[in-house]
């Protein structure tokens, strides 16, 4: 039943696109960075004017939100920002006081399980049933009335995909945190949902387990072209998984857009302080030498350290405090491998520091002390040389 | 149909079947002619009814539900129409019951007698007294422990009558304690606490093997006569009463065969009869 | 002491010779209390789950009533059930006073709040998001409730034990509404009371031992299931 619905939905989506500007639905990632391309995406899920109240207090107030087909939307924000509430509302599990959800343009009835059979959700806790791993993964299929024979074929495939085939007969109560979350993910994906909601799925796992799971999730999202909305409070995770980022605070979306854009051009002070990394540069690996590599960014090249392959799409993240500004064209005695001449665009005071935005062909943000600012007599429009070490570049590999 | 619903349905069906299977036979019971006999604990505790009821059921096909309570409670059940027939031993109360129009066909069935039992040491010195009220006066005078049923049973009514004849108010007396229990249990308490009590002879004899050190101290006084009557509950007052059954039971109790059974009941086991048949005799005074 | 030994001897004699009356009393006790437990499970699990999963005005009061009901004195239940079942009482038309059915009814009334209370607590003890997770797996309301109850099955076994244990050993209500009628509504507890009254302490002790063995075996079986299910 599910596969039929899926086929039908694809047809509908195709029809939508063809009836539109005819640009096709294949998405070039580079183009995806640009704001203008957003309007050309297929919208799978749309939220209009959502309002959620709890105990008379508004906890969620979203005027509009689009989830694009085949993309991952990462929700980031502090604890209590409303990320979980937003996910639950989008998943049809929380009835908003006001507002609509539209799946492929069609309104979703309130509390209908037919909508819930098109989606899946993974929570922070694995929330497994007290039975075997196999039965857990089969749960969604059993709920849909899928026959034993089909379950016997489908479930092992997904156990394999999430690397838990050897645990099939084990009790869910005897799993490690990572194994349990893998089971939860497999249970969500086995129903072939059109959209998966992930509520901080890895935040209670230790770093190595988390890394392995993020890799697998990334791979499976790519393989299955599943649309997803994932919340996280970790920027690196958001950048790895998310095609787009939505920053949530106080129950509102304060900024939404392609990942790099949100990172680089925070809409306000809150987003800037929350995302922390103010320079995020999308690039492509063009050369690899011993231990370090060169990535092309805009028209420049940045040297960084990390394990990458030729042609990998990467984000280069540079923390403002790691950027040194100098008024000399080639600063003497510096060991920095990345040196870029540029022009100061803006200077904003930020507590102990001054936040200086430099245009070096790409936007680079640096923090300098008030003392340095006066010594170098930096002003807006002045030419400077910005430099940072190869080791200061934090590299995040992007989904292909 | 999906697996979860199937299992749930299965479980519900099993539960339902179990309930029907177990409830059905008892629901079928009213189809049979039920007869509620409210009686005293002494008739049950002595074992007499265990002999008589099966005979009656076999003979008539009625199903008797024997509710063994005190005579007082048995009559209040009759008064509310919650019983069909009574077998009780509280003549004064019975007369009032009849006078109020609650009963029909009050027939004498049998008698035995009450006896005063107490510790072998006999601290009140009542052994061999000819008069029960005299003995009660001595108990009160010595402040010797007396255990009363305190449950409005026929025995309790008789006991109160004797205290009245002796002119003694027992209320609030330290030596006077109410058990609120049936005859058998009150006898057990009396044996344990070395107290005096009034009991019907039938129950006393039936329980004697467990009542070491609790001999009969006073017997034979005319006031100690214990008479059992069978009374049908008035169907004119309570239409739901099984009047035919009540009539059948009354007839059965005074029939020659039954009277013969009563006469020999307990002779083998206790060496003497527990009850003496009285059917057809005039009322004792 | 002799009396107790004699009682134990008699108990084993009655059990091993399969004394018809004792056997009948024992089976009736099992049947009556078993049925009452089933009914209380049916009503209690349903009510407990509904109260656990819904929010409505006065819910706190309902929870308090359920918790109070868990300690409902059997004698009080017996009294009220008797009054209701009287021929001329509100439920007199049922004609079930002084029948095993009446005992089942009274015992179900005693056990239902116990099962409801334990169900309520065990469903509320499940992870808060489990309900949402089940719905997110595409479950209908009914499927969700069924899955939640299934998840709470271990504590619910405790409810079965508490309910059954409470009513099989109950005497006050059984004697009032059942009447302790020989071969018909006489159960282990009422027979024990009567035999004690008759001074037949050996039989009373024998019946008590059977009652204890019965309670023990039923609990042992349920505990066995519970322990086997528990993660090692």
The set of chains that have 3 or more CB pairs under 8 A with C is A, B
Which of these, B65, A108, A392, lies nearest to C87 by C-alpha position?
B65
Check CB contact of A152 with chain B, cutoff 8 Å: no
Q: Is residue A339 part of a domain?
A: yes
Q: Are residues A232 and A297 in the same domain?
A: no
Smallest Cβ distance to B188: which of C31, C38, C199?
C199
Check CB contact of A142 with chain B, cutoff 8 Å: yes
Mean predicted lDDT score pLDDT of chain A: 82
Q: Are residues A228 and A350 in the same domain?
A: no
Compute the average pLDDT of residues B246-273.
92
Residues of B in contact with A143 (CB under 8 A): 2, 4
Strand pairing of A106-107 and A227-232? Answer: unpaired
pLDDT of B207 = 86
Q: Are residues A187 and A322 in the same domain?
A: no
Q: Are residues A294 and A260 in the same domain?
A: no
Q: Are residues A259 and A135 in the same domain?
A: yes
Q: Closest-CA residue in chain C for A129?
A: C151
Q: Is the pLDDT of residue B26 over 50?
A: no
pLDDT of C211 = 92
Evaluate whether A102 touches C120 at the Cβ level (below 8 Å): no
Q: Is the pLDDT of residue B140 over 50?
A: yes
**Residues contacting residue A231 through CB under 8 Å, at least 6 positions apart:** A74, A75, A76, A77, A83, A84, A86, A87, A198, A199, A200, A248
Residues of B in contact with A145 (CB under 8 A): 1-3
Query: 3-class SS at B242?
Result: coil
Compute the average pLDDT of residues B22-31.
43
Q: State the ipTM, two decimals.
A: 0.79
Q: Is residue A18 part of a domain?
A: no
Q: Are residues A37 and A159 in the same domain?
A: yes
Q: Is the pLDDT of residue A20 over 80?
A: no
**pLDDT bucket at A175, cuts 50 / 70 / 90:** very high
B3, A142: Cβ pair inside 8 Å?
Answer: yes
Which of these, A101, A73, A104, lies nearest to A11 by C-alpha position?
A104
Q: Is the pLDDT of residue B142 over 80?
A: yes
The CA distance from C104 to C174, in Å, is 9
Two structure tokens written together for B104: 């029909």
pLDDT of B202 = 85
Check CB contact of C133 with chain A, cutoff 8 Å: yes
Q: Is the pLDDT of residue A322 over 90?
A: no
Q: Is residue A353 part of a domain?
A: yes
**Residues contacting residue B169 through CB under 8 Å, at least 6 positions apart:** B163
Range with lowest mean pLDDT among B19-28, B85-94, B236-245, C149-158: B19-28
Q: Is the pLDDT of residue B30 over 50?
A: no
Q: Are residues A176 and A136 in the same domain?
A: yes
Check CB contact of C227 with chain A, cutoff 8 Å: no
Which of these, A198, A188, A194, A196, lies nearest to A84 by C-alpha position?
A198
The CA distance from C79 to C71, in Å, is 16
Q: Are residues A35 and A115 in the same domain?
A: yes
CA distance A155 to chain C (A): 15
Whole domain around residue A310: which residue ranges? 279-397
Q: DSSP letter string over B206-219?
A: HHGGG-TT--EEE-
Q: Is residue A16 part of a domain?
A: no
Per the listing, tokens 């050190």 go with: B213
Q: Is the pLDDT of residue A28 over 50?
A: no
The CA distance from B238 to B225, in Å, is 32
Q: Is the dihedral of CA B223, B226, B230, B234 positive or negative?
A: positive
- Express each pLDDT in A259-277 by its tens digit: 877 877 777 767 766 776 6
Q: DSSP letter string over B154-174?
A: HHHHHHHHHHHHHT---TT-T
Q: Closest-CA residue in chain B for A142?
A: B3
- Express each pLDDT in A63-111 by its tens digit: 999 999 999 999 998 888 899 999 999 998 988 889 888 898 888 876 5
B1, A142: Cβ pair inside 8 Å?
Answer: no
Report the percentage of chain B scoring pLDDT > 90: 63
Two structure tokens written together for A40: 């050309």
- More confident site: A313 or C118: C118
pLDDT of A234 = 79
Domain end residue (candidates: A275, A298, A314): A275
Judge if pTM exceeds 0.90: no
Check CB contact of C54 with chain A, cutoff 8 Å: no
For residue C149, the Cα-to-chain-centroid distance in whole angstroms is: 19
Domain end residue (candidates: A275, A294, A311): A275
Range with lowest mean pLDDT among A283-287, A318-322, A329-333, C211-215: A329-333
C179, B80: Cβ pair inside 8 Å?
Answer: no
- CB count in 10 Å sphere of residue B14: 11
Check CB contact of B8 with chain A, cutoff 8 Å: no
Check CB contact of B2 with chain A, cutoff 8 Å: yes
Q: Is residue A15 part of a domain?
A: no
pLDDT of C223 = 85
The set of chains that have 3 or more CB pairs under 8 A with A is B, C
Two structure tokens written together for A236: 């690196």
**pLDDT bucket at B11, cuts 50 / 70 / 90:** low
**pLDDT bucket at B12, cuts 50 / 70 / 90:** low
- CB count in 10 Å sphere of residue B13: 10
- Express each pLDDT in A363-375 by its tens digit: 888 888 888 888 8
Residues of chain C below pLDDT 70:
1, 229-232
Compute the average pLDDT of residues B56-62.
92
pLDDT of A276 = 67
**pLDDT bucket at A361, cuts 50 / 70 / 90:** confident
**pLDDT bucket at B28, cuts 50 / 70 / 90:** very low
CA distance A252 to chain B (A): 40
Q: Closest-CA residue in chain B for A145?
A: B2
C199, B184: Cβ pair inside 8 Å?
Answer: yes
- Which domains does chain B possess? 29-109+228-277 (3.40.190.10), 113-224 (3.40.190.10)
Check CB contact of A107 with chain C, cutoff 8 Å: no
Phi/psi of residue B265, each to 5°?
A: -65, 125
Q: Is the pLDDT of residue A14 over 50?
A: no
Q: Is the pLDDT of residue B29 over 60?
A: no
Triad B175, B177, B183: Cα angle to 5°: 130
Check CB contact of B258 with chain C, cutoff 8 Å: no
Q: Are residues A32 and A94 in the same domain?
A: yes
Range with lowest mean pLDDT among A17-31, A383-397, B56-70: A17-31
pLDDT of B41 = 83
Residues of A in contact with C229 (CB under 8 A): 130
Q: Are residues A297 and A221 in the same domain?
A: no
Smallest Cβ distance to C86: which of B18, B27, B82?
B82
Compute the average pLDDT of residues A3-30.
36
Q: Is the pLDDT of residue B23 over 50?
A: no
The CA distance from C88 to C95, in Å, is 10
CA distance A85 to chain B (A): 29
pLDDT of A263 = 74
Check CB contact of C231 with chain A, cutoff 8 Å: yes
Evaluate whether B282 touches B229 at the Cβ level (below 8 Å): no
The CA distance from C9 to B272, in Å, is 30
Domain end residue (candidates: A275, A297, A326): A275
For residue A385, the Cα-to-chain-centroid distance in whole angstroms is: 32
- Express each pLDDT in A118-129 by its tens digit: 999 999 999 999
Strand pairing of B225-233 and B85-88? Answer: antiparallel
**Cα–Cα distances in Å, from C108 out to A391, B20, C160, C219, C225?**
74, 15, 12, 18, 24
The CA distance from A363 to C8, in Å, is 94
Report the percentage of chain A scoring pLDDT > 70: 84
For residue C104, the Cα-to-chain-centroid distance in whole angstroms is: 9
The CA distance from B31 to B52, in Å, is 23
Smallest Cβ distance to B80: which of C42, C86, C180?
C86
Smallest Cβ distance to C104: which of B23, B82, B240?
B23
Phi/psi of residue C17, each to 5°?
A: -90, 0
pLDDT of B285 = 63
Residues of B in contact with C87 (CB under 8 A): 81-82, 238, 240
How many domains does chain C contain in total?
1
**pLDDT bucket at B197, cuts 50 / 70 / 90:** very high
CATH number of the structural domain spanning residue A295: 2.40.50.100
Q: Is the pLDDT of residue A19 over 50?
A: no
pLDDT of C35 = 96
- CB count in 10 Å sphere of residue B240: 16
Write the DSSP symbol of residue A399.
Answer: P
The end-to-end CA distance of chain C, in Å, is 44
Query: 3-class SS at A263?
Result: helix
The CA distance from A249 to A254, in Å, is 7
For A251: left if phi > 0, alpha if psi spans -120 to 50, otherwise beta; the answer is left
- Express each pLDDT in A323-356 by its tens digit: 888 887 666 666 778 888 899 998 888 777 888 9
Q: DSSP letter string over C33-62?
A: HHHHHHHHHHHHHHHHHHHHH---TTHHHH
Interface mutation vs chain A, best among B3, B5, B7, B8, most A CBs within 10 Å: B3
Which of these, B184, B206, B197, B246, lies nearest to B36 by C-alpha position?
B246
Residues of C in contact with A173 (CB under 8 A): 231
Q: Is residue A190 part of a domain?
A: yes
Q: Closest-CA residue in chain B for C148?
A: B4
Interface mutation vs chain B, best among C151, C199, C200, C205, most B CBs within 10 Å: C199
Which of these, B149, B144, B145, lies nearest to B185 by C-alpha position?
B149
pLDDT of A11 = 34
CATH number of the structural domain spanning residue C13: 1.10.3720.10
pLDDT of B119 = 95
Q: Are residues A121 and A206 in the same domain?
A: yes
Compute the average pLDDT of residues A2-16.
36
Check CB contact of B28 with chain A, cutoff 8 Å: no
Smallest Cβ distance to C133: which of A127, A173, A191?
A127
A142, B4: Cβ pair inside 8 Å?
Answer: yes
Two structure tokens written together for C69: 């009901």
Evaluate whether A295 touches A285 at the Cβ level (below 8 Å): yes
pLDDT of A7 = 37
Compute the average pLDDT of residues A41-51.
88
**pLDDT bucket at B13, cuts 50 / 70 / 90:** low
Residues of B in contact with C201 (CB under 8 A): 210
The CA distance from C23 to C25, in Å, is 5
Evaluate whether A263 touches A245 at the Cβ level (below 8 Å): yes
The set of chains that have 3 or more CB pairs under 8 A with B is A, C
B3, A144: Cβ pair inside 8 Å?
Answer: no
Q: Is the pLDDT of residue A12 over 60?
A: no
Whole domain around residue C163: which residue ranges? 2-229
How many domains does chain A contain in total?
2
pLDDT of A332 = 61
Q: Is residue A14 part of a domain?
A: no
pLDDT of A4 = 38
Query: 3-class SS at A265?
Result: coil
CA distance C199 to chain B (A): 6
CA distance A36 to chain B (A): 47
C88, B210: Cβ pair inside 8 Å?
Answer: no
Q: Is the pLDDT of residue A13 over 60?
A: no
Which of these, B39, B45, B199, B209, lies nearest to B113 by C-alpha position?
B199
């Amino acid at each position: 039943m599910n596969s039929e619905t899926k086929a039908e939905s694809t047809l509908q989506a195709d029809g939508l696109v063809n009836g539109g500007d005819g640009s096709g639905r294949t998405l070039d990632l580079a183009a995806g960075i640009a704001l203008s391309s957003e309007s050309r995406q297929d919208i799978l899920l749309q939220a209009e004017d959502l309002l959620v109240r709890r105990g008379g207090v508004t906890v969620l107030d979203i005027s509009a939100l689009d989830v694009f087909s085949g993309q991952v939307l990462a929700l980031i924000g502090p604890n209590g920002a409303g990320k979980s509430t937003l996910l639950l509302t989008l998943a049809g599990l929380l009835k908003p006081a006001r507002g609509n959800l539209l799946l492929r343009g069609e309104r979703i009835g309130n509390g209908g399980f037919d909508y819930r059979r098109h989606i899946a959700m993974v929570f922070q806790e694995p929330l497994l049933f007290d039975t075997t791993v196999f039965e857990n993964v089969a749960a969604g299929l059993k709920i849909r009335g899928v026959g034993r024979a089909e379950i016997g074929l489908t479930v092992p495939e997904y156990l394999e995909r999430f690397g838990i085939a050897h645990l099939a007969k084990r009790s869910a109560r005897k799993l490690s945190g990572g194994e349990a979350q893998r089971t939860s993910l497999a249970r969500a994906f086995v129903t072939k949902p059109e959209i998966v909601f992930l509520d901080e799925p890895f935040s209670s796992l230790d770093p190595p387990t988390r890394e392995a799971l993020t890799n697998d999730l990334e791979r499976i999202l790519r393989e299955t072209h599943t649309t997803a909305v994932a919340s996280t409070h970790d920027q690196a995770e958001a950048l790895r998984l998310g095609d787009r980022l939505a920053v949530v605070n106080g129950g509102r979306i304060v900024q939404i857009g392609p990942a790099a854009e949100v990172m680089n051009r925070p809409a306000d002070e809150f987003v800037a302080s929350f995302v922390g990394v103010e320079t995020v540069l999308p690039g492509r690996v063009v050369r690899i030498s011993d231990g370090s590599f060169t990535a092309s960014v805009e028209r420049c090249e940045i040297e960084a350290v990390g394990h990458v392959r030729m042609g990998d799409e990467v984000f280069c993240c540079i923390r403002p405090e790691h950027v040194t500004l100098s008024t000399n064209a080639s600063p003497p005695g510096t060991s920095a491998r990345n040196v870029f001449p540029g022009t100061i665009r803006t200077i904003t005071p930020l507590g102990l520091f001054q936040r200086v935005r430099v245009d070096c062909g790409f936007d680079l943000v640096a923090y300098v002390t008030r003392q340095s600012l006066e010594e170098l007599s930096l002003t807006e429009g002045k030419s400077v040389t910005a430099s940072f070490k190869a080791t200061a570049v934090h590299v995040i590999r992007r989904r292909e | 149909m999906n697996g979860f619903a199937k299992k749930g349905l299965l479980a519900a069906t099993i539960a339902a079947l179990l309930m029907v299977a177990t409830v059905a036979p008892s629901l079928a019971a009213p189809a049979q002619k039920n007869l509620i006999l409210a009686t005293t604990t002494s008739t049950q505790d002595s074992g007499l009814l265990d002999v008589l009821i099966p005979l009656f059921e076999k003979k008539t096909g009625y199903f008797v539900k024997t509710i063994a309570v005190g005579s007082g409670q048995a009559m209040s059940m009759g008064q509310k129409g919650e019983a069909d027939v009574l077998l009780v031993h509280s003549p004064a109360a019975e007369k009032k019951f009849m006078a109020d129009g609650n009963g029909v066909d009050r027939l004498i069935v049998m008698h035995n007698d009450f006896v005063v039992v107490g510790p072998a040491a006999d601290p009140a010195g009542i052994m061999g007294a000819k008069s029960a009220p005299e003995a009660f006066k001595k108990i009160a005078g010595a402040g010797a422990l007396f255990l009363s049923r305190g449950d409005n049973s026929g025995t309790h009514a008789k006991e109160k009558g004797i205290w009245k004849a002796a002119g003694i108010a027992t209320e609030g007396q330290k030596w006077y304690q109410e058990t609120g229990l049936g005859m058998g249990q009150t006898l057990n308490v009396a044996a344990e606490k070395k107290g005096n009590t009034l009991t019907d002879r039938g129950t006393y004899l039936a329980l004697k093997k467990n009542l070491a050190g609790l001999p009969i101290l006073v017997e034979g006084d005319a006031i100690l006569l214990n008479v059992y009557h069978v009374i049908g509950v008035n169907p004119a007052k309570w239409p739901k009463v099984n009047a035919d059954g009540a009539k059948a039971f009354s007839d059965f109790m005074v029939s020659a065969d039954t009277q013969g059974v009563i006469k020999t009941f307990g002779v083998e086991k206790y060496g003497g009869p527990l009850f003496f048949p009285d059917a057809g005799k005039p009322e004792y005074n | 002491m002799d009396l107790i030994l004699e009682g134990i001897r008699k108990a084993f004699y009655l059990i091993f010779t399969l004394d018809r009356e004792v056997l009948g009393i024992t089976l009736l006790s099992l049947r009556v209390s078993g049925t009452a437990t089933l009914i209380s499970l049916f009503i209690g699990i349903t009510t407990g789950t509904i109260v656990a999963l819904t929010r409505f005005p006065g819910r706190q009061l309902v929870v308090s009533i359920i918790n109070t009901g868990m300690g409902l004195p059997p004698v009080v239940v017996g009294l009220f059930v008797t009054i209701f079942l009287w021929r001329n009482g509100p439920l007199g038309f049922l004609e079930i006073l002084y029948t095993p059915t009446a005992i089942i009814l009274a015992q179900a009334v005693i056990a239902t709040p116990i099962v409801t209370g334990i169900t309520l607590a065990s469903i509320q003890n499940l992870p808060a998001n489990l309900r949402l997770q089940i719905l997110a797996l595409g479950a209908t309301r009914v499927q969700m409730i069924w899955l939640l109850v299934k998840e709470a099955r271990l504590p619910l076994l405790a409810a079965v034990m508490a309910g059954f244990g409470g009513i099989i050993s109950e005497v006050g209500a059984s004697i009032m509404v059942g009447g302790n009628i020989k071969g018909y509504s006489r159960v282990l507890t009422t027979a024990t009371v009567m035999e004690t009254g008759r001074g037949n302490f050996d039989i009373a002790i024998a019946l008590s031992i059977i009652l204890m063995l019965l309670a023990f075996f039923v609990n042992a079986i349920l505990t066995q299931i519970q322990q086997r299910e528990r993660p090692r």
